[in-house]
A and B are shown apart, each in its own frame.
Chain A
Amino acid sequence: MLQYIKDREQKPVPGVMPILAGLGSPQEMKLVDEEWHTQNFMWGNARERKRDYWNKEIEDKWRKTQVSVRTRLVSCYNCPMKCGATISVPGISTYMMKCFSKLTYTMAAFSDLDFGFRIAQRATEYGVDGFSTPQVMAFAVELKDAGILTDEDFAGCPSDNEGKFYWLLDRIVRREGIGDVLANGTYWAAQQIGKGAEAYAHNNIKKHEQLPLKLGMLNPVYYLMYCTGEKINITQIEGQFPQAPFLTMEEREDFVKDWIQVPDEKFKKYLLDWELRGERSNPYYPTVDMSVDIVDWQEMMHHIDDALGMCAGLSSFPLKPPYHIHNYPTLISLATGMDMDEAGLTQVYRRNRTLVRALNVRRGLRRADEKPPEDHWKKRFPELEANLLDAYYKFKGWNNDGIPTKESLNELALDYVAEDFLLRGILTDNEGTPSKETSPETEKK
């Protein structure tokens, strides 16, 4: 295992962005090349894509900044990887940073890397979330520009761009004035502010802020993961299947030849046949059934990692990780003394995932909640999207509203869940189809 990790670190996956080629989290502390993030992710309140942002001048400037503040490459807790770093900006306290937090403040504020490292120190010390906080601050700035938030809401706020973000951070953390509203996140803040603010909270799924991404073409695998993921953030579901096709057959064959991690050989074929353009390209390829398979595999590995307390950076998240479905059972048996094999581990995953779904269903989750923001991709495909969701629900043994059926619950030895659902009227005895009233409020009775 250790040897594989050492070897894999020496051999980044060719043909993908450097940030995705290694193990662990995207190696943003080690690498300076941020072309992928700055050009594919959105700036501001998930607002603007800058397709030509990255250039030599910015790379040099950001390299200088990064190298000057990066004291040592470390990792989370006692991990020997180097996904993180201790950052020491002169004049302010040292802190630890990893991954996309490097850019979230920078991009939300349309600023530069130096600003990002500085404000992140304060944000880290405060303990706020590095993804959603920059977005709610950018959201507030947009609302102010639109006149929905007033000078009174912003009384005392500096006039310079970076100053605004520092001021907002301090207000949010202390729940002072407008900070008390913003601290609840864009979804709830928009509800509370009203006056059309809802239109500006445009990047939520299930009321939670998403990564600032608004892409062109719909990727069906990602569509499903965004819709149905109950770990709420795409990074907690996605992983081992490449995000885009390789351009040449040569590259694809090179990738699959040592792809030991696939649960089944069919996943290699899915990748080999995937083209950038034409019939076998997004959004219709991977096909509906293939997309469901791929999502199921990625979701499975994340849930197993969660059950084991394993870092996704060495398992469910990167390409070709050291931990996978074929070696996990043996490792689990050795560590715990439990009898475990692939079938058993897959069953554990199915039960866990279904139980999570059941808990959320009991709190009112339904199909209507399972949708990405309207502007998440430039072009939408309502019929395909409906087919994808139908197929995923069917595969999981759920009814058309995303509720696990009595039969599928019993198969997973979750009959007590079925009983609870029947009692609450979430399921009825007729084939598990829900009764007419499907609104969460009435079902909570």
Chain B
Amino acid sequence: MGEKKKKIIKSIKIDVEKCNGCRACEVICSAFHATPKYSSNNPGRSRIRVIREPLRDVYLPVYAGEYAPAECMGRDKYVIDGKEYDECGFCRASCPSRDIFKEPDSGLPLKCDMCEDDPAQEKPLCVQWCINDALIYEEREEEVEEEVKLEDVEIGLESMIDKYGLEKVMDTVSRMSASKKG
């Protein structure tokens, strides 16, 4: 706790003027994260979603971020240079108030992992596939405090505990493990 170490900060610069709503990023993200890899694609399970309202010229790629067990007390709506964006348009959260950034079948939260892979990808797939250069990948080094990184299992369990309560989740796991042994 509190130890400093060098860390690579990965970021994706999103140029909303260049996005033309093709959603290739959604296709390739969901395909890359499919099991087995590339076996299917479903924009519903993409970690990047493009908020697209052509008649209002809204083209906004947003990446899945933190899981939020409850929605915010109030919702935000941005007007930028006279252009009105939808409420919660810029928010990255996997939130009970909307469908995006959730696995369509289970409802479990999704989070962008910058396509961490073995061997490592040169750039995240969405960046590689954006033909209009609306997504630009950048890396920089920073000194940060050491942190605990949650894995997929923990993120999923946390959300289920929030939804059903710790007791129910533990009971269910015990029951399942007993029937498997039996």
Chain A residues within 8 Å of B, Cβ to Cβ: 2, 5-6, 71-75, 78-82, 86, 88, 93-94, 96
Contacts and interface: CB of A to CB of B under 8 A. Distances in A.
Given A73-B20, A74-B21, A80-B24, A86 B131 contact: no
Given A78-B22, A80-B22, A82-B20, A72 B59 contact: yes
Interface string B13-28: 0000000111110000
Contacts of A74: 20-21, 54
A71 B54 CA distance: 10
A94 B55 CA distance: 6
Contacts, number: 38
A239 B165 CA distance: 63
B57 to A, nearest CB: 5
A88 B82 CA distance: 15
10 contacts: A2-B129, A71-B57, A72-B20, A74-B54, A78-B23, A80-B130, A81-B131, A86-B54, A94-B54, A94-B55
B67 to A, nearest CB: 28
Interface in B58-76: 59
B172 interface: no
Contact of B55 (A5, A73, A78, A93): A93
Nearest to B134: A80
Contacts of A72: 20, 57, 59
A82 B17 CA distance: 13
B118 to A, nearest CB: 23
Contacts of A78: 21-24
Interface string B120-141: 0000000001111000000000
Nearest to A84: B20
Binding site secondary structure of chain B: loop
Given A75-B22, A80-B24, A5 B131 contact: yes
Contacts of B56: 94
A79 B22 contact: yes
Interface residues of B, number: 14
The interface centre, meaning the residue of B23, B59, B131, B132 with most chain A CB atoms within 10 A of its CB, is B131
A80 B57 contact: no
A78 B130 CA distance: 12
Contacts of B22: 75, 78-80
Contacts of A79: 22
Nearest to A74: B20
Nearest to A6: B131
Contacts of B57: 71-72, 86, 88, 94
Given A78-B22, A80-B130, A88-B57, 13 more contacts: A2-B131, A5-B131, A72-B20, A73-B20, A74-B21, A78-B23, A78-B24, A80-B20, A80-B22, A80-B24, A80-B132, A86-B55, A94-B55
Contacts of B21: 74, 78
Contacts of A5: 131
| In the A-B complex, the 3 residue pairs with the closest CB atoms | A80-B22, A80-B131, A74-B20
Interface string B141-179: 000000000000000000000000000000000000000
B136 to A, nearest CB: 15
The interface centre, meaning the residue of A5, A73, A86 with most chain B CB atoms within 10 A of its CB, is A86
The interface centre, meaning the residue of B20, B54, B55, B129 with most chain A CB atoms within 10 A of its CB, is B20
A94 B129 CA distance: 28
Contacts of B23: 78
Contacts of A81: 131
